[in-house]
Structure 1
Amino acid sequence: MMSLKPRHVNFEETWSKLRETISGVVSLRAVERAVWNSRFSDVYALCVAHPEPMADKLYDETKSFLEEHVSGMLQRVKGSTPLESSDYNDGLLSRYVTAWREYSQGVQYLNSLYSYLNLQHVKRHKVSEAEVIYGSSAHTPEVEKLNRQLEVGELGLVIWERVLVQPLSEALTSRIISGLNAARELNHDSTTADILRTSIHSTVDVQSYRVRSALELYQELVVEPYLVAATAHHCALAAKLLDSGDVSNFVRHVLDGLEREIALGNKYLHSSSSEAVRACYEQACIEAHLPALHAEVDRLIKEAAEDNPRAEERRADLKRMFALLKPLGSNALRPLVEAAHAQATREGRAMLAAEHSKDEAHTHFVYSMLSLHGKYKRLFNDVFCGAQAFVGALDKACSTVVNSRTEGEHFARAPELLSRYCDALLRRKGSERDADEKLSAAIVVFKYIDDKDVFQKHYARALARRLIHQLSASMEQEEAMINRLKAACGYEFTNKLHRMFTDVAVSADLNAKFQQYLRDNDLCTNIGFTIQVLQAGAWPLGGAMAPLAPPPQLEKPARLFETFYRSSFSGRRLAWLHHLCTGELRTKYTQRSYHINATTPQCALLLMFDTVDTVRAREAQETLQLSEEAWTRHVRPLLEVNLITAEGDIEGDGELTLNLGFTCKRTKIRLTCAAAPPTPGNQTVTPSSDSTHCEDDRKMYLQAALVRIMKQRKVLRHTELIQEVVSQARGSFAPSVAMIKKCIEALIDKQYLERTPGKHDTYSYLA
């Protein structure tokens, strides 16, 4: 049993026995358990010897022994092999690995044998990791004597590095680099690969005890020389591939080479080198040849977008090129992104310029844009893995195509065309599911429109016509479409559209109450009379038309309704919009019964023939109080379908006669009326008036936004104010800076804002 009491110890006698055991331990020879325990006790006895501990002397003797032992191993590793050779198969690496495995394992055992020395002597003087990293003036002597800070196992590694590795550094490096170069070209057998890998990782393990710069030797002996050699190899490979002139072949081989290089690094090198290995390859094979790669992107993208068998090969080439360029960052990818944007824009403009009938312009526009978006979305998802840069390029291209306009046009035609497309779908009697899918797809195009306020005006007018004349195929689809627009642009954008729906529902209830009012007062209209009361601020209908003298059949129920409405709502004023009214008449004088849907003036004219067969044109016009232009527009459709005939000038003293022999294949006849030309008393919409109205509305919108922002912020710089206004208006239109400046000046004139004294670029809100 080991005595723990300090005692006198003969150092020479004890060290002689201890040295013999140490020699066996570091040489991995068998050591009996009893001998091991005795030597462990000897280490303890020397560390606590009386009257003076001998730990320092033991430490120094052990150090000398290890230096002598490693020197012998150095000669064994060298053998008779010339150090200048770079043949990794000449045996030096194999002997080195054998020696390292023996020594590194033996030093671990030795460290266990000296555990008391390490614990009680070395660690008391050892600097902490924090002090090594951040420095400590209190431990300066210890920092200078690093060997006195090392445990025995760490000391053994230091001696291995100094005595054996440093003298062989050049020989080891040349053979390691030669082995790695050979491994790149062919697969080593397992033994050779294991020797190469172990020799490389030994340069890491030998400094593993370090707190700082633990990979310094590895970097010096392996990584730096390897990267130099690898760069030369990669440059030669890239130059050879480029000489072929085939970029597709170059990209394919370079990408394969990158995968092999990464696999080589993962197999042989330390994990800390993976980024350096990749960067070395990318710089030599890709970054150095970016101009040559960028020169081909336009052609590759153009051919990849074509519809032919070769397109699949080009897509594969683009996918490989993207994989090569992506790690290099946005600058390397930018030409590819720009080429993708240019190709989508070019094809989109060509699609819109293709020949088509004028009546199908709206369908052609929407189908073309959806086709363009779907095609390039699939292409970019497949080739570029849906990278955000290419999603943005597609969005930018679609926006450019959608918002393009010809010279002289104040607004792009996209808002009007998309509105017509939606109008056609919402009117059509067909598959509800098919129409719903197409309307959902139309929102894709809508999101790219800059002038959303222009679309809103066109859509509101079309919706008003559908609701007033009951032309909608499905009210559920109408509401669903408005909800889609609200999701895209917010509640404010669809506020008036919702109010239009509310008016329709309220009008239905109002009609029911009116009929009850007639019954309660024993009144009768003798005709089917329905009305729609619409809010002037919500419906884009313009003002009241010129007065029309309605026929007696309509005049009586109209007066009754006015009386009913005033009794129900005080302070409200009704304005009859005769130009939006329609009526349905049924013939009794023909062999077949026909249902004629016509405008109010047309109905009034036909009702004149209820008691006579012929009327004078001039008298009829005066009775109806129509202008000459309005009279002609309403009479022409009746003459064209042959419901009436004319003798003489219909605008003068001619006569109109009811065609008693009228026949038609259809039993339901809808009469139309040409639009009135723009006049001061007529609100017909024209492109020029549309532009004026939109400009005025935009100015009011911007002024309101400016006031809201300044009321909240009180004081704001010019550039910040412009940015906030642009941000708020983005959902409706893209305002120009010039227009915003004009609105600011207008608000200054109106004394809503003022320029802050002494700061010309700052505005203040005036309460």
Structure 2
Amino acid sequence: MNCIVWFSSETMNDRKTIDLEQGWEFMQKGITKLKNILEGLPEPQFSSEDYMMLYTTIFNMCTQKPPHDYSQQLYDKYRESFEEYITTMILPSLRGKHDEFLLRELVKRWANHKVMVRWLSSFFHYLERYFIARRSLPALHEVGLTCFRDLVDKLIGICAIFQVYHELNAKVRDAVISLIDQEREGEQIDRALLKNVLDIFVEIGMGQMDHYENDFEANMLKDTAAYYSRKASNWILEDSCPDYMQKAKDCLKREKERVSHYLHLSSESKLLEKVQNELLSVYTNQLLEKEHSGCHALLRDDKVQDMSRMLFSKIPKGLDPVANIFKQHVTSEGMALVKQAEDAASNKKAKKKDVRMQEQVFVRKVIELHDKYLAYVNDCFMNHTLFHKALKEAFEVFCNKGVAGSTSAELLATFCDNILKKGGSEKLSNEAIEETLEKVVKLLAYISDKDLFAEFYRKKLSRRLLFDKSANDDHERSILTKLKQQCGGQFTSKMEGMVTDLTLARENQINFEEYLSNNPNSNPGIDLTVTVLTTGFWPSYKSFDLNLPAEMVQCVEVFREFYQSKTKHRKLTWIYSLGTCNISGKFEPKTMELIVTTYQASTLLLFNASHRISYQEIVSQLNLSDDDVVRLLHSLSCAKYKILNKEPNTKSITHTDHFSFNEKFTDKMRRIKIPLPSVDEKKVIEDVDKDRRYAIDASIVRIMKSRKVLGQQQLVMECVEQLGRMFKPDFKAIKKRIEDLITRDYLERDKDNPNLFRYLA
């Protein structure tokens, strides 16, 4: 309030002295008038002259020469005025009322009290400007509000008032809490009234929340806990888990709204914590384990919406038991798929083709299972990291189980091969293929033996590329990009090199054909396609000095001349085991085109010079091992297409057998492909084991080179950590490699401590 003060023309020395009793008698008349106005009694309003007279009286009494400067006495009487007003008028008016009537009277009296503080602070304003400032005393406004709050503390010894104050405080608090409970039961209450009452608790704290927290909030929270404890004890018996959760959700929502309507904002977290504790924390286990509606049942019955209502994220570590149940459930479903696939594979009547099909179905079902529960994690569990971890740990359990003797790494690689090769059983659109490959790569994250997958995949990729079985080059590059993002550049470097080799090989073939057209004398006489590969990128293949037929020898020489004309720094090694030939077979019924391997072609061409040949002669003329010759002759005489007759006519090949050309062979097709059984896939595992030994050696040396001295346990753990991204190394294998490195003088064992190793530079 801005005040303008007029002074009389007489000097302060000439001014008549006002004694304390006389001056205070005049001030009391003004204060009594103010009280009457506040009480609604007939009284004229203060005029400007009235206000100036009251202000000037205080001014004069404070500016008189000692001992007539009554500043301290007026400051004390200012306080006493409020205490007298509260004692004689406010407290008696409140004592006779209860419940909502008490609250309404309290709000009215608080509003009047604030008006009185404002007016009296204006009358005594000169004290504020000089006396209070010099003495560092509480401001007038603060004194007025404090009186309302701390009357008991300031009037020591008045026992009756002490009892009145605490009685009123308890009555007000209980009345507010009673209205809150009524609202919780669905009754309509005056929210504005509650807000006004609770604002009093906040305002009389003058910036501090102690009064609100101690005189109201503590009891309100205690009552809230008791209220919801009673409710929860009934709901847990009556309701299913989803229904209970819905009620809990509604309660939390209403309590939050309650804060926004009339409780102080600082109460929100404490209030919700009480509700969550009574409704959720206390009954967590009972809710999760309810027989027909608990977490197990909801997951089993795919109750997605009900699962999304699980509110355990609101309580400390409340999601831990839910995530554990989720992990157990997913693990159980995954293991059921493994058992189902194992049972199908163990069926003695099942054909090998059917077993392979079941393995593909198994991978497809695992992908579908992952889709299903990843959706749970994203939608029901709000993408929470705890559930991503649970999903990962669950899939790691059953994704690393073998099926029918095949590792999960091999099954996944075979599944990819079936999608990417021509004529695969998976008939999918381009979009579906991309989506499926993305999901396969996600599954690979759960496979511990990623290096084994890489080797199986590389083997199958090589066959797709070399035998033109890849359905789409874009898909081949796409999955390599996905694998690179998942496992790193080193994981796919060889595979990318294979794809690049095929591109370069096509260009090389075009150049070869141009070379033949420009050099007629070098023409081999038959169509020849050569694929030149980089040794380091491709899987290792057997390379024998096969005695080629004369026609093929000419082809090899022509290509060698062409290649040496381009570069003299590379050596060509011919891998005949990967070659294919289209040869013409003249049978009595009809002439047929036979698609065979280079080995098979070399064998069949022997019969152009001789009608009947012994097993030993074939071995000698081809210069192949017994195992390879047995496979060759079996495919030509004992399998589906019997191009050769065998004597004796049995299904096994022996060293005493004789073979002749089957001139009477026929088939409804004019063009047939004669398959050659592939070598056992165990070689892949052997190759991977060899690579792992090198990887472990490199890791140990790398660690020891940087650490110089290290204990065995720490060395093993660091090695496991380094290699864990590609495969899960066996502790025994690591220790074996350490011993090997010691014998090769890379490391030495400490003389005093055998479990301590030193790096030898």
For residues 219-234 of structure 1, the aligned pairs below 5 Å read 219-234=213-228
Q: Decide whether the 8 Å contact of 2:607 with 2:660 is kept in 1.
A: no
Instruction: Tell me which of 685, 688, 696 is aligned to 2:690.
Output: 696
Q: Decide whether the 8 Å contact of 1:646 with 1:655 is kept in 2.
A: yes
Any idea what SS the aligned residue of 2:522 has? coil
1:764 CA drift (Å): 5.0
Partner of 1:176: 176
Any idea what SS the aligned residue of 1:616 has? strand
- One-letter amino acid matched to 1:327: K
Q: 1:80 to 1:572 in 2, by over 3 A?
A: closer
Q: Decide whether the 8 Å contact of 1:77 with 1:92 is kept in 2.
A: no
Tell whether 2:209 aligns with 1:215: yes
1:461 CA drift (Å): 0.9
Tell whether 2:676 aligns with 1:673: yes
Q: 1:299 to 1:160 in 2, by over 3 A?
A: closer
Partner of 1:133: none
Q: 1 CA distance for matches of 2:307 and 2:497?
A: 51
Q: What's the Cα RMSD here?
A: 3.3
- One-letter amino acid matched to 1:171: K
Instruction: Tell me which of 569, 580, 597 is aligned to 1:582.
Output: 580
- One-letter amino acid matched to 1:538: F
- One-letter amino acid matched to 2:314: P
1:629 CA drift (Å): 4.3
Give CA-to-partner distance per residue, 1:686-730, whole Å, 9 cap, x none: 43x544433332232122123333434555666665554333323
Q: 2 CA distance for matches of 1:276 and 1:760?
A: 59
Tell whether 2:380 aligns with 1:383: yes
1:154 CA drift (Å): 0.6
Q: Decide whether the 8 Å contact of 1:507 with 1:532 is kept in 2.
A: yes
Partner of 2:444: 446
Q: 1 CA distance for matches of 2:588 and 2:567?
A: 44
1:732 CA drift (Å): 0.7
Any idea what SS the aligned residue of 1:354 has? helix
Partner of 1:343: 329
Partner of 2:529: 530
Q: 2 CA distance for matches of 1:568 and 1:542?
A: 25
Q: 2 CA distance for matches of 1:58 and 1:759?
A: 89
Q: 2 CA distance for matches of 1:113 and 1:743?
A: 96
Q: 1:648 to 1:724 in 2, by over 3 A?
A: closer
Partner of 1:196: 194
Partner of 2:112: 102
1:371 CA drift (Å): 1.0
Partner of 2:29: 20
Any idea what SS the aligned residue of 1:286 has? helix
Give CA-to-partner distance per residue, 1:719-750, whole Å, 9 cap, x none: 66555433332321122444444444444444
Partner of 1:131: none
Q: 2 CA distance for matches of 1:267 and 1:70?
A: 30
* More deviation, 430-439/483-492: 430-439
Give CA-to-partner distance per residue, 1:102-137, whole Å, 9 cap, x none: 1123313433454443243323443xxxxxxxxxxx
Q: 1 CA distance for matches of 2:324 and 2:469?
A: 46
Q: 2 CA distance for matches of 1:242 and 1:432?
A: 52
Provide the identity percentage. Answer: 25
Q: 1:417 to 1:265 in 2, by over 3 A?
A: same
Q: 2 CA distance for matches of 1:205 and 1:616?
A: 114
Partner of 1:333: 319
Any idea what SS the aligned residue of 2:558 has? helix
For residues 725-744 of structure 1, the aligned pairs below 5 Å read 725-744=719-738
Q: 2 CA distance for matches of 1:58 and 1:761?
A: 89
* More deviation, 116-125/295-304: 295-304
1:456 CA drift (Å): 0.7
Q: 1 CA distance for matches of 2:436 and 2:474?
A: 15
Q: 1 CA distance for matches of 2:753 and 2:206?
A: 64
Any idea what SS the aligned residue of 1:168 has? helix
Q: 1 CA distance for matches of 2:605 and 2:712?
A: 66
Q: 2 CA distance for matches of 1:464 and 1:416?
A: 15
1:564 CA drift (Å): 4.2
Q: 2 CA distance for matches of 1:47 and 1:719?
A: 87
Partner of 1:556: 554
Give the aligned length: 710
Q: 1 CA distance for matches of 2:292 and 2:411?
A: 32
- One-letter amino acid matched to 1:535: T
1:496 CA drift (Å): 1.3
Any idea what SS the aligned residue of 2:532 has? coil
Q: Decide whether the 8 Å contact of 1:648 with 1:655 is kept in 2.
A: no
Instruction: Tell me which of 635, 652, 660 is aligned to 1:637.
Output: 635
Q: Which runs of 5+ in 1 are unaligned?
A: 82-86, 127-148, 676-683
- One-letter amino acid matched to 1:168: L
* More deviation, 709-718/475-484: 709-718
1:526 CA drift (Å): 0.9
1:643 CA drift (Å): 3.9
1:465 CA drift (Å): 1.4
* More deviation, 511-520/414-423: 511-520
Q: 2 CA distance for matches of 1:704 and 1:349?
A: 36
Partner of 1:706: 700
Q: Decide whether the 8 Å contact of 1:426 with 1:473 is kept in 2.
A: yes
1:242 CA drift (Å): 3.3
Give CA-to-partner distance per residue, 1:561-610, whole Å, 9 cap, x none: 33444554445443322221111124567786643210113222333455
Tell whether 2:260 aligns with 1:256: no
Q: 1:465 to 1:234 in 2, by over 3 A?
A: same
Q: Which runs of 5+ in 2 are unaligned?
A: 152-163, 345-353
Q: 2 CA distance for matches of 1:108 and 1:487?
A: 72
Q: Decide whether the 8 Å contact of 1:507 with 1:533 is kept in 2.
A: yes
Tell whether 2:166 aligns with 1:150: no
For residues 613-652 of structure 1, the aligned pairs below 5 Å read 614-618=611-615, 619-639=617-637, 640-646=640-646, 652=656
Tell whether 2:18 aligns with 1:10: yes
Tell whether 2:476 aligns with 1:473: no
Q: 2 CA distance for matches of 1:626 and 1:752?
A: 41
- One-letter amino acid matched to 2:142: E
Q: 1 CA distance for matches of 2:70 and 2:752?
A: 84
Instruction: Tell me which of 29, 36, 52 is aligned to 2:51.
Output: 36
Q: 2 CA distance for matches of 1:221 and 1:575?
A: 94
Q: 1 CA distance for matches of 2:472 and 2:323?
A: 43
Q: 1 CA distance for matches of 2:627 and 2:264?
A: 92
Q: 1:552 to 1:730 in 2, by over 3 A?
A: same
Partner of 1:319: 308
- One-letter amino acid matched to 1:282: Q
Tell whether 2:103 aligns with 1:93: yes
Partner of 2:73: 57
For residues 511-550 of structure 1, the aligned pairs below 5 Å read 511-518=509-516, 521=519, 522-545=521-544, 547-550=545-548
Q: 2 CA distance for matches of 1:281 and 1:388?
A: 25
Q: 1:19 to 1:736 in 2, by over 3 A?
A: farther
Q: Decide whether the 8 Å contact of 1:370 with 1:444 is kept in 2.
A: no
1:487 CA drift (Å): 0.9
Q: 2 CA distance for matches of 1:38 and 1:64?
A: 21
Partner of 1:681: none
TM-score in terms of structure 2 length: 0.84
Partner of 1:142: none
Partner of 1:678: none
Q: 2 CA distance for matches of 1:573 and 1:298?
A: 72
1:167 CA drift (Å): 5.8
Q: 1:207 to 1:504 in 2, by over 3 A?
A: same
TM-score in terms of structure 1 length: 0.83
Q: 1:605 to 1:254 in 2, by over 3 A?
A: closer
Give CA-to-partner distance per residue, 1:251-302, whole Å, 9 cap, x none: 4434433333443344332222222222222333332233322433896334
- One-letter amino acid matched to 2:307: L
Give CA-to-partner distance per residue, 1:400-423, whole Å, 9 cap, x none: 12012479x7xx721000111111
Q: 2 CA distance for matches of 1:156 and 1:22?
A: 14
Q: 2 CA distance for matches of 1:383 and 1:17?
A: 75
Partner of 2:359: 362
- One-letter amino acid matched to 2:308: K
- One-letter amino acid matched to 2:18: N
1:45 CA drift (Å): 4.4
- One-letter amino acid matched to 2:675: T
